[in-house]
Amino acid sequence: LIGQAMATTPGIFDYKQMADNESMLNTPPCFAWYVSGLVFKWIKDNGGLAGIGERNARKAGALYDYIDSQDFYSNPVAKANRSRMNVPFVLANAELDAEFLKGAKAASLSGLKGHRSVGGMRASLYNAMTQDGVNALIEYMKEFARTRG
């Protein structure tokens, strides 16, 4: 790879420049590399990409199943197009949104406010979110619907 960079390759990615400067052309992003290594190890320890994929499918499935099973919450996305990472949902009465978010915060559930362009709620179920976290959200949603519905 040394000496084979294209003319448009930024210097930071040109291995010849790095070799000519004895790897001192710039400071590499060591912390980012370290954190990436920790994440890769965590993924490997949790079944690799296949294991993480199955886990994410279970988490999203549990939340979608609850939302689809009752009338207080709804999901505006067609089932064929639903994300495993971000689950949007709306309450039966948008006037309850602020109260829902306030109660969620009190229950240590954060980041549920929907995107500013569409409103509603959005549960982000990224890889590090646990099944217990999703279950806590579902239990909060059940209680909120029971007392406000």
> Could you read off the pLDDT of 11-39 as tens digits, one per residue?
888 889 889 988 777 777 889 999 999 99
Of residues 108 and 27, which shows the higher confidence score? 108
pLDDT computed for residue 69 by the predictor: 98
Separation of alpha carbons 76 and 9, rounded Å: 44
Q: Which amino acid is at 11?
A: G
Burial of 110 (0-12, 13-18, 19+ CB in 10 A): exposed
pTM above threshold 0.75: yes
Asked if pLDDT for residue 57 goes beyond 90, the answer is yes
pLDDT computed for residue 128 by the predictor: 92
Query: 58: which strand partners?
Result: none
- Nearest CA to 63 among 149, 148, 129? 129
Q: How many CB atoms lie within 10 A of CB 130?
A: 11
Q: Which amino acid is at 127?
A: N
- Quickly name the fold that domain 47-148 has: Aspartate Aminotransferase, domain 1 (3.90.1150)
Of residues 85 and 30, which shows the higher confidence score? 85
Asked if pLDDT for residue 140 goes beyond 80, the answer is yes
